[in-house]
Amino acid sequence: MLRRKEILRLPQAWLLLCLLAMALLSGCAREGRAGSITLAGSTSVQPFAEILAEEYARRYPERPSVNVQGGGSSAGARAAMSGTAHIGMLSRELAGSERELTPTVIAVDALALIVHRDNAVTELTKEQIKGIFSGRITDWSELGGAPGPIHVISREAGSGTRDAFDGLVMEGEDVLPRAIVQDSNGAVRETVAGDPRAIGYVSLGLVDDRVKAVKVDGVEASVETVRAGEYILVRPFLFVTKGEVPTGVKEFMEFVMGEEGQSILAGEGLVRAK
């Protein structure tokens, strides 16, 4: 190990070289070519962003890694505005001061109303859904199902999925206070899958054979009906950024919006943005 006096006697050229290297590394970080790219926000967008990140790392191992975190749409917007995340993820439109951000629609999603696989109810109207979630309709027998109380499963206030549901279905009415609140679409799905009397709403791309999506106003929730404009409960999936986008982040965005990324999202049950 060099003593202090020996370090002080290092040639000035070496010191200048070290400083130059540090400056270059700092510049690379600012350009998004070193370290990692951070995404944060909507838990609806999160699983799809994770799939994109994994495929991006596989195809472009020399580029920065992509770190995906949840937290909800509002948290994603705040993270993008504060700079704690390079990209915010939202499953709703921008609101208020969030409009200073630059939105990119990466895909279009549908809100699917899900019930237990054994539930006899296969179709609901939008008004019936509003009645269920507001508490005016409380028993499955009122909807043609087996007698029994309806267990309402909802998302937490501030989530993009909840905001979209409130705007598309509730239209100013409040979700009943006794609703069981979950903090992710996955948790809603698991709760409904385990409760024959439950109903909830999730991203269409997360519907699997553990639950059943009911028709809304006679229309099945599917990529085809969303694309045709027939299914009414639709919302955008957004990536939002602030100011000048670093090179590494721009490359990832180009991947997502290009044929590779759009094909991945379509394969996961979303409607392509382009």
Q: Of 14-23, 44-53, 192-201, give the lowest mean pLDDT range.
A: 14-23
Beta strands in the chain (DSSP E): 36-41, 65-71, 87-90, 102-116, 123-124, 151-155, 180-182, 198-203, 211-213, 215-216, 234-241, 271-272
DSSP codes, 41-61:
E-TTTHHHHHHHHHHHHHH-T
More confident residue, 1 or 44: 44
Rounded Cα distance between 95 and 220, Å, is: 30
pLDDT score of 34: 53
Q: pLDDT-based confidence at 23, cuts 50/70/90?
A: very low
Domains along the chain with CATH numbers? 37-107+236-272 (3.40.190.10), 109-234 (3.40.190.10)
Rounded Cα distance between 206 and 221, Å, is: 12
Q: pLDDT-based confidence at 32, cuts 50/70/90?
A: very low
Tens of pLDDT, residue by residue over 144-171, are 999 999 999 999 988 889 999 999 999 9
- In sign, the C-alpha dihedral spanning 106, 42, 74, 129 is positive
Tens of pLDDT, residue by residue over 64-123, are 999 999 999 999 999 999 999 999 999 999 999 999 999 999 999 999 999 999 999 999
Please, is 24 exposed, middle or buried when counting C-beta atoms within 10 Å of its C-beta (0-12, 13-18, 19+)?
A: exposed
pLDDT score of 269: 85
